[in-house]
Structure formats: structure tokens, C-alpha cells
């Protein structure tokens, strides 16, 4: 049976066999439409060149036979367009592995596009808290980081972007401090140019702020209103007056820029949705994150999930744009035999990175030298600074199944935060150049 996954291998095989034709065209797009059917799109010049057109029809016929249910009849499977840029516009696209002039364009039913990676933001550092599985203590860890950074006198901007399952804001705010509006309201009102007047009414100041400040932007306001009806519209792109299309995640980036201009934070913490989801894709790839924390529990579900994502980046040839910002976090490390647990997690994380995102290191030639002398991005299993080396959050009964995290954080002490989240927070502090760590009380050091 021929399925979707055979489309690209078949394309590579067929196009390799017709290398003369491939060499003769300026570019060729393998366009996978919403139903997973494939057309070839080529420059208009090919249509008027009798010989080239004949060859194109022949190549598409052979390819179509290979992927039958995913192909069109040859007469409707070919399209001619003026420029490659127009064809790729607003769609996920990447070069076909092994070919310089051939592009894969994916028309997706979702707005999520994991294969386009925005460059790192230049202003306050942005840290995204992501996990492939839910319920791993991501939001709690984010709240603990916000608590600590505020204690250090920093101004922290927190965005609850877990729009489908919001909750972070209630852990940082008492109910009477919830603002009138949230991110979902802004995204919906923006569609009718009515959003900017609500900006001040979607910022709440947390009472947990100590010497600094925690500004929380919740997913919804104190009265969520018709939340589901609004949520179903946040993904809408906006068509500007001149006809230009701004994707929903472009709108979200605009919101973040406005909030940063208004609040001038020292750091932005973003609570992403878990899993391979549209909002998560925006948080991880579109918001210019400087650091993406990948929370992980031991187990095949975690590694299979991250592998799908990393493979996608590798295939889309964007691994290099994102990999240096990734960091594995060992979530909820059990009290019992933590060293064994962490060693297992580290090994799985290492296997994943080495098979997908680290550069291959060619075997040394005699004399121990690298053959090409090229710098390669790869790490040893035991390298403390490697992204696969987990930053640790301990499981602690004091944070398990809490009725109210806010209530807990009101009375929490520095030692408690340090003992559970100290490794994670200390490593973030080092990443930011804000300090030299945050060791556990039992490890002796004071921050």
C-alpha cells in the first residue's frame, strides 16, 4: 500500500533517475495539498518549451504511478507559476533532501508551522516552557522561576499561552487581581482593529513580586465570557488593508512586542501548550525564543514525541536555526534513586540529539585529527553544557496536587524553592549571566 510517507522517498528516486531534466529547470516544487495529493509546480517558461514540457509530463507520469492515490492525472497534476516565492508564500516549505533546486511545499489544514524558525529576539530574553506531554510540572516550574527572578529584583513578564487549558495566571495571581481581558480577547479584537485599547486591562501585577515585579498576561480575563467561541477565532490570519496577510502567530508576535514596549521587562517567560499543537508551534518556533526548555519525563512517550519534532526540523533543514536554543529539563525527578533516573534520562536525551540534531563527527584520521578541521556542533554524553544534559526539577510532595499554587507561593521560602527548582533556576541564571548558580541548601552554597 502506498501511503503519505512514501511520497518524498518516491520523489527522490524518480527525480534522481531524471537528473538531466532536473538540471534543465530553474526550480521545481513538489506541492502536497490539503488532502495529501501531489502536484509538480514549475516555472512558466517550461510550459512554452515543448521539449521540457514533454519531459515534465513523462516524469510526473512515472512519479504518479509510484504514489497512485496521492497523485493527480498527469493533465491536472502540473502547474506553471511565475516565481518560486509566490508558490512558497504562506506555506511550510523546505528543500527536498539531496536536491538544491527542488522544494517541498506543504499546505496544512492547521496554522501551525514547525519548520519556519524565527531568529532570536534582540530585546529582553524570552524563555519558552514546553513539553511534549502535559502535566509534567511546566507551569509550576515557570511560576517558581518568576518568583525567584522577582526576588532578585527583576521585572518578569509572564504570558499564559496555554490557551486551550489556561491556568498559569491563577498560580501567580489571587482571583481579585485577574485583569478584565486576556490574550484570547486581544487576538479576537485585533481582527476588527479593536485590540490596542485593551492592552492595559490585560496586564496584572502579581502580589508575589518581592523586590522586583511580575506582570502576568493571562489567557482570559476575570470573566472568561464566551471563551470557546473566542478561542475558535484566535487562529485567524488578518488581512490588512493593502491585502497583505498576517498569520495568527504574526499577530501574537505583534502583541508581545507591544507588551515589551509598554512594560520593559528584564525577562519574558512563556508558558506554552504541551504537544505538537498550533500554539506550541508558535511559542517554540515563531516568538524568537532565546531558550526553549523541553520538559521530559522518562519513558518512550516522551522520546518518541521529541523524535518526531526533531526529525521534522532535520528534514526541513532548519535544525541549525533552533538546536542551540534547546535544553532538556528533567521534570519531576523522583525522590527514590534520582541518580539512576537521571542517568537513564540523560542517555535517552543523548541518543535523541545524536541521531537528529548533533552534527556527525567523522572518525579521526591517524594522529587523532579531524579530517576536515571543520567545527561541528556535537557534545559528549557527559558534557555538562550539552543541551541533552538535563536541568533538574525535583518531585516534591510540597508541590504535588496543590489546591492552590498561589496560596503555596505566598508562604514559600527561598530554601524550599531552591531545593526543588534550584538546579533549573541556577542554570537559567547562568544562561542569562545573572548569577553563578543557585545550589541546594544541602549542597552548602548560598546564592
Ligand X SMILES: Nc1ncnc2c1ncn2[C@@H]1O[C@H](COP(=O)(O)OP(=O)(O)OP(=O)(O)O)[C@@H](O)[C@H]1O
Minimum Å distance from CB 331 to ligand X?
7
- Which neighbouring-strand residues pair with 293? 129, 327
Contact between 137 and ligand X per CB under 6 A: yes
- State how far the Cα of 357 lies from the Cα of 194, in Å rounded to an integer: 43
Contact between 170 and Mg ion per CB under 5 A: no
Position closest to Mg ion via CB: 139
Whether the Cβ atoms of residue 233 and residue 188 lie closer than 8 Å to each other: yes
Q: Which is nearer to ligand X, 129 or 353 (CB)?
A: 129
Considering only residues 301 to 360 of the shown chain, the ones binding ligand X according to CB under 6 A are 332
For residue 427, what is the enclosing H or E element? helix 414-432
User: 206 contacts which partner out of Mg ion, ligand X, none, CB within 5 to 8 A by kind?
Assistant: none
Minimum Å distance from CB 224 to ligand X?
17
For residue 430, what is the enclosing H or E element? helix 414-432
| Stretch of 30-38, 106-114, 133-141, 320-328 contacting ligand X, by CB under 6 A | 133-141
Q: Which is nearer to ligand X, 3 or 301 (CB)?
A: 301
- State how far the Cα of 158 lies from the Cα of 154, in Å rounded to an integer: 12
Closest CA to 146 of 409, 402, 394: 409
Q: 43-64 in b/e burial notation, b at 16+ Cβ within 10 A?
A: beebeeeeebbebbeebbeebb
Contact between 140 and Mg ion per CB under 5 A: no
| SS3 assignment, position 394 | strand
User: 329 contacts which partner out of ligand X, Mg ion, none, CB within 5 to 8 A by kind?
Assistant: none
- Which neighbouring-strand residues pair with 295? 131, 329
Q: Which three cell numbers stand for residue 90?
A: 504562506
Q: Which is nearer to Mg ion, 29 or 425 (CB)?
A: 425
Site of grid cell 504514489:
67
User: 326 contacts which partner out of Mg ion, ligand X, none, CB within 5 to 8 A by kind?
Assistant: none
Contact between 138 and ligand X per CB under 6 A: yes
- State how far the Cα of 180 lies from the Cα of 203, in Å rounded to an integer: 9
Binding marks (x or -) toward ligand X, 150..179, rule CB under 6 A?
------------x--x--------------
Minimum Å distance from CB 278 to Mg ion?
17
Contact between 139 and Mg ion per CB under 5 A: yes
Out of 69, 83, 95, 134, the residue judged to bind ligand X by CB under 6 A:
134
For residue 81, what is the enclosing H or E element? strand 78-81
User: 332 contacts which partner out of Mg ion, ligand X, none, CB within 5 to 8 A by kind?
Assistant: ligand X
User: 136 contacts which partner out of ligand X, Mg ion, none, CB within 5 to 8 A by kind?
Assistant: ligand X
Residue 338 buriedness (CB in 10 A; 0-12 / 13-18 / 19+):
middle
What is the maximum span of the chain, computed from C-alpha positions, in angstroms? 79
Give every CB contact of residue 135 below 8 A, 6+ residues apart in sequence: 274
Q: Which is nearer to ligand X, 88 or 393 (CB)?
A: 393
For residue 129, what is the enclosing H or E element? strand 126-131
Out of 192, 229, 374, 401, the residue judged to bind ligand X by CB under 6 A:
401
| Stretch of 132-140, 204-212, 362-370, 437-445 contacting ligand X, by CB under 6 A | 132-140
Give every CB contact of residue 333 below 8 A, 6+ residues apart in sequence: 341, 342, 392, 393, 394, 395
User: 137 contacts which partner out of Mg ion, ligand X, none, CB within 5 to 8 A by kind?
Assistant: ligand X
Binding marks (x or -) toward ligand X, 353..392, rule CB under 6 A?
----------------------------------------
Q: Which is nearer to ligand X, 11 or 294 (CB)?
A: 294
Minimum Å distance from CB 162 to ligand X?
5
User: 114 contacts which partner out of ligand X, Mg ion, none, CB within 5 to 8 A by kind?
Assistant: none
Following CA atoms 369, 372, 377, 380 in sequence, which dihedral angle do they give, to the nearest 10 degrees?
Answer: -20
For residue 46, what is the enclosing H or E element? helix 44-48
* Residues composing the chain: 447
Contact between 404 and ligand X per CB under 6 A: no
Give every CB contact of residue 292 below 8 A, 6+ residues apart in sequence: 127, 128, 130, 284, 322, 325, 326, 327
Contact between 139 and ligand X per CB under 6 A: yes
Contact between 39 and ligand X per CB under 6 A: no
Out of 307, 396, 430, 440, the residue judged to bind ligand X by CB under 6 A:
396
Minimum Å distance from CB 145 to ligand X?
12
Give the ranges where 195-318 is alpha helix by DSSP (H). 227-231, 248-263, 278-281, 300-315
| SS3 assignment, position 301 | helix
Out of 25, 124, 274, 298, the residue judged to bind ligand X by CB under 6 A:
274
Out of 80, 99, 377, 395, the residue judged to bind ligand X by CB under 6 A:
395
Site residues (CB under 6 A) for ligand X? 131, 134-140, 162, 165, 274, 332, 393-396, 399-402, 420
Site residues for Mg ion per CB under 5 A: 139
Amino acid at each position: 500500500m502506498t501511503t503519505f510517507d512514501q511520497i518524498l522517498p518516491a520523489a527522490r528516486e524518480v527525480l534522481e533517475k531524471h537528473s538531466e531534466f532536473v538540471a534543465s529547470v530553474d526550480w521545481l516544487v513538489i506541492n502536497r495539498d490539503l488532502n495529501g495529493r501531489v502536484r509538480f509546480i514549475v516555472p512558466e517558461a517550461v510550459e512554452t518549451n515543448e521539449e521540457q514540457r514533454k519531459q515534465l509530463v513523462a516524469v510526473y507520469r512515472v512519479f504518479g504511478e509510484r504514489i497512485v492515490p496521492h497523485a493527480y492525472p498527469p493533465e491536472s497534476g502540473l502547474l506553471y507559476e511565475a516565481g518560486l516565492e509566490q508558490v512558497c508564500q504562506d506555506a511550510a516549505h523546505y528543500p527536498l533532501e539531496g536536491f538544491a533546486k527542488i522544494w517541498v511545499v506543504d499546505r496544512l489544514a492547521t496554522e501551525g508551522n514547525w519548520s519556519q524558525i524565527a531568529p532570536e529576539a534582540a530585546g529582553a530574553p524570552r524563555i519558552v516552557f514546553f513539553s511534549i506531554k502535559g502535566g509534567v510540572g511546566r507551569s509550576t516550574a515557570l511560576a517558581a522561576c518568576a518568583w525567584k527572578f522577582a526576588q532578585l529584583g527583576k521585572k518578569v513578564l509572564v504570558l499564559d499561552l496555554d490557551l486551550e487549558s489556561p491556568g498559569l495566571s491563577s498560580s501567580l495571581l489571587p482571583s481579585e487581581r485577574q485583569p478584565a481581558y486576556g490574550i484570547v480577547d486581544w487576538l479576537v479584537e485585533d481582527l476588527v482593529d479593536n485590540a490596542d485599547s485593551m492592552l492595559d486591562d490585560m496586564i496584572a501585577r502579581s502580589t508575589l513580586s518581592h523586590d522586583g515585579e511580575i506582570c502576568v498576561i493571562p489567557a482570559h480575563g476575570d470573566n472568561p465570557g464566551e471563551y470557546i467561541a473566542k478561542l475558535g477565532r484566535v487562529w485567524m490570519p488578518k488581512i490588512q488593508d493593502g491585502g497583505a496577510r498576517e498569520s495568527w502567530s504574526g499577530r501574537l508576535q505583534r502583541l508581545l512586542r507591544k507588551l515589551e514596549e509598554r512594560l520593559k521587562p528584564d525577562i519574558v517567560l512563556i508558558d506554552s501548550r504541551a504537544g505538537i499543537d498550533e500554539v506550541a508551534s508558535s511559542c517554540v518556533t515563531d516568538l524568537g525564543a532565546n531558550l526553549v526548555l523541553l520538559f521530559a519525563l522518562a519513558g518512550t512517550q516522551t522520546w518518541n514525541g521529541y523524535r518526531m519534532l526533531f526529525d521534522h526540523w532535520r528534514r526541513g533543514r532548519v535544525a541549525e536555526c533552533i538546536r542551540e536554543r534547546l535544553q532538556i529539563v528533567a521534570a519531576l525527578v523522583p525522590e527514590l534513586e534520582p541518580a539512576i533516573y537521571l542517568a537513564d534520562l540523560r542517555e535517552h536525551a543523548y541518543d535523541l540529539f545524536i541521531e537528529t540534531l548533533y552534527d556527525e563527527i567523522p572518525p579521526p584520521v591517524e594522529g587523532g585529527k579531524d579530517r576536515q578541521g571543520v567545527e561541528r556542533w556535537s557534545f559528549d554524553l557527559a558534557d555538562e553544557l550539552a543541551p541533552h544534559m538535563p536541568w533538574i526539577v525535583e518531585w516534591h510532595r510540597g508541590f504535588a496536587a496543590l489546591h492552590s499554587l498561589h496560596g503555596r507561593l505566598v508562604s514559600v521560602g527561598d530554601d524550599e524553592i531552591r531545593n526543588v527548582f534550584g538546579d533549573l533556576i541556577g542554570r537559567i541564571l547562568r544562561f542569562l549571566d545573572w548569577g553563578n548558580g543557585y545550589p541546594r541548601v544541602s549542597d552548602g552554597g548560598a546564592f
